[in-house]
Amino acid sequence: MTQAYDTDDKRWAAGRSRDRNADGQFLTCVKTTGVYCLPSCPGRPKRENVVYHPNAGAARAAGFRACKRCRPDE
């Protein structure tokens, strides 16, 4: 993860602004739906339901699956 996205606040801001520069830097994982998304995904989870993982392998190991909307594995 680069320093531009080194805190949850910075990652949250990147997701809220749909920052495509953040894609590939981390994944947003939504606890209530069990999916992981790119930061640029148009989905809008509540902050308290979000955790971050550095890559798809880590997100899958934590029990999340790929979002069908933004398709982070493609």
Nearest Cα to Cα of residue 15 among 3, 27, 4:
27
**Residue 70 appears among annotated catalytic residues:** no
26 pairs with which residues across the strands?
23
What's the half-sphere exposure (Cβ side, CA atoms, 13 Å) at 62? 20
Active site residues: 37
